[in-house]
A = this chain, B = another copy of it.
Amino acid sequence: MTKIHVPVRDAYDVIIERNILKRCGEIISEVSKAETCAIITDDNVDKLYSETVSESLKSNGFKVVKYVFPHGEASKNAGTLTKIWSFLVQNDITRSDCLIALGGGVVGDITGFAGATFLRGIQYIQIPTSLLAQVDSSVGGKTAVDLPEGKNLVGAFKQPALVLCDPETLRTLPEKFLIDGMGEVVKYGMIADEKLFDLLLNCNLENVHEYFDTIIPICVAIKKNVVAEDELDTGLRMILNFGHTIGHAIEAYYHYETYTHGCAVSAGMCIMTKYCNTPEEYAKLKKCVENYHLPTDTDAPIMELVNLCGHDKKRAGQKLRWITCNPIGKAQIQTGTIPEFRAIFEREV
């Protein structure tokens, strides 16, 4: 068991432990005074883990209700959010009850937003079951839904009361989602930890499972340090967006259908590194992401992606911010106008 304390205003722990799902109710009872836990999950995760979680909650004295929505990014919208809100009223959930986000990033983001807004805020707990959610989205309190115009355009900052990561869930994770999460794992190496990057450079999609007990805590600790410095995303937290400015544009360009988030970030990181680092470093990153079957580029014309970056929510006034990691393991926040950002991709490489 590894416990990582996240020292923000409403501080909380991230606990990483194999088979923690089976005893989640015991741990949750230490941080929650809820009478009722409302599990929010998707139809895929529901079949795999709801019963285990629900049994553990019930045997620790909680009443349990459950809301299941169809899996996938397409559900992360205002319509699903509204249905969750109504479900919570209809089940008499009060300000002192607790939401349990059981699933991947979509479940975590929308449940967190429901927690931030239902009755103007009730407690929620993250039980991330995907790699992406375990190393990234479950920690830090960013909650959101998508709009038809773009991803994560509305949301709130609301820290979870607890995060429980069970690396065992990654063994049964479909390969597509494992690959997706590895995109973010490589990102942590790029922005903050050359040793992690080197470890990843020497592993592959088959043997990486053996290293998750090391990898997940390293990633969570990096994220924790960044979040603790910059809870409300006004500065340092930007470094977590390495690969995301272009990555979000890739997702939007393909209407969120072709690329998973991690794959889009992988291509985004490679494109940034191609234009901003030495050819040797670019080659290393390419090799690293290829180990995990992640893309190194896309068919979308780069200038069309750059144009899509204008709608990115990180743009402040006419300025845009983006991240470079040069050398590998050290992130820099860059600020410039849209023409300055565009100029990066106009040079021959």
Chain A residues in contact with chain B, CB under 8 A? 35, 78, 81-82, 85-86, 89-90, 92, 94-96, 113, 116-121, 142, 144, 147-150, 153-157, 232-233, 310-311, 313-318
Decide: A153 near B315, CB < 8 A? Known: A120-B144, A120-B233: no
Decide: A316 near B149, CB < 8 A? Known: A155-B117, A156-B121: no
Q: A89: which of B120, B142, B147 is its contact (CB, 8 Å)? A: B147
> Quick one: copies of this chain in the complex?
2
Decide: A96 near B317, CB < 8 A? Known: A82-B78, A120-B144: yes
| Cβ contacts under 8 Å, A313 to chain B | 94-95, 119-120
- Closest chain-B Cβ to A235's Cβ sits at a distance in Å of 13
- Closest chain-B Cβ to A220's Cβ sits at a distance in Å of 21
Main secondary structure of the interface of A (DSSP, over half): mixed
Q: A142: which of B35, B120, B142, B144 is its contact (CB, 8 Å)? A: B120
Measured in the bound complex, the distance between the Cα atoms of B149 and A86 in whole Å is: 7
- Which of chain B's residues has its CB closest to A118's CB? B154
Measured in the bound complex, the distance between the Cα atoms of B274 and A310 in whole Å is: 60
Decide: A116 near B317, CB < 8 A? Known: A78-B78, A150-B89: no
